[in-house]
Structures are given as structure tokens and as C-alpha cells.
Amino acid sequence: MKTQLRYLSLGAGALALASLTACVAPPPAYTTSYPYQAPPVQPIRSSYIEYGRVANIEVIRTETPGYAPGGGGAVAGGVIGGVLGNQIGHGGGRAAATALGVVGGALLGNNIEANNNRPRVAESYRISVQTENGGYRAFDVASPGDLRVGDRVRLDNGQISRY
């Protein structure tokens, strides 16, 4: 009976640890869809092609704000640490291990929650193109690839490519 109870409490501790680790996915970084095209001055036909030159490439940094831990990680970590610490030793040693497990688990859970709530930074690039007819177009892309300022480009249905 004592062995079954020990296996049951070990299983409950492992289940609690697995459920805690399933909740540590970082929040997504919100960005705009790519490529972004500024509203055109004239209507775009279905196969409208323009030519131009890259006028500017700039880095755009997007930062999601961080926020303080709410305490849920500390509580869950303390519970899991206490359950796991209770599995060690006998008598007074078991009580000490349980107390250390609660404190250590709470500190670890709070640290994990604070790490997941930190500010996140995402970088993208805005490519400005001056078209041959004198207009400007702006494209927000994840990477400029091999495009450089002054390169001749082709704009085909909102897509930019080297020409």
C-alpha cells in the first residue's frame, strides 16, 4: 500500500510538472503581413507591371511590451516542488525536503513566468521604390534578400523582384 501511494504521488507530481511546462509557450510577436503595399494612386489591373529603383531600405523594429509575473508560476512551482520534495527522506528530513521543494519550486516557477513575459523584439525591413512614372511604393518584408539601394526592380502584382 505504501509503495502504491508513493507511485501515485510521483505520478501526480509528474502530471503537475507536465501541465506546468505546457503553459510556458511565449506569446506571439505581432507583425504586419508581408509584403505590405501602400494604397496605390491608380487602380491596379490584374497583370500590372511597373519598373523602378530601390530608393531606401530601412530596418523596422517592432517591440511587444513585457509585463510583470502574476504569481501563477510561483504558486504552481511551489506546489510541484512541495510534492516532489515530500518524496525524499523520512520524518524531519522529509519536512525539510518538502519546505526546500516549495521554496525552490516557487523561485523556479516565478523565474520561468518572468522569462515568458519579457519584452520581445522583431525586425523587418521597409523597401521604398521610386517607380519610373515618379511614384513611390513601400514594401515591408522579413528580409531584403539581395536587394540594395539603387538596384533596378520589377513590381508585379504587389511583389518586388530584382530586374
- Average pLDDT over the chain reads 80
Q: Which structural domain, as residue segments, surrounds residue 99?
A: 1-29+75-118
Cα–Cα distance measured from residue 49 to residue 60, given in angstroms and rounded to the nearest whole number: 27
Instruction: Specify if 24 maps to a domain.
Output: yes
**What is the pLDDT, as a whole number, of residue 145?**
86
If asked whether residues 61 and 79 sit together in one domain, one would say no
What is the rounded CA–CA span in Å between residue 113 and residue 56?
A: 40
User: CB–CB of 125/142 below 8 Å?
Assistant: yes
Predicted local distance difference test score (pLDDT) of residue 65: 83
pLDDT band at 156 (very low <50, low <70, confident <90, very high): confident
Residues 42-65 pLDDT 10s: 555 556 788 999 999 999 988 888
Kindly report the CATH number assigned to the domain that includes residue 146: 2.40.50
Residue 85 and residue 13 in contact, taking contact as beta carbons nearer than 8 Å = no
On whether both 112 and 54 belong to a single domain, the answer is no
Residue 70 forms part of a structural domain:
no
pLDDT digits (tens, 9 = 90+) for 100-127: 888 998 899 888 888 888 888 888 999 9
pLDDT in tens, 27-45: 555 555 555 555 556 555 5
Do 16 and 92 lie in one domain? The reply is yes
* Residue 138 domain-assigned (yes or no): yes
Residues 88-100: what's their mean pLDDT?
Answer: 85
Question: Span 157-162, mean pLDDT?
Answer: 84
Dist. CA 75–CA 19, nearest whole Å: 13
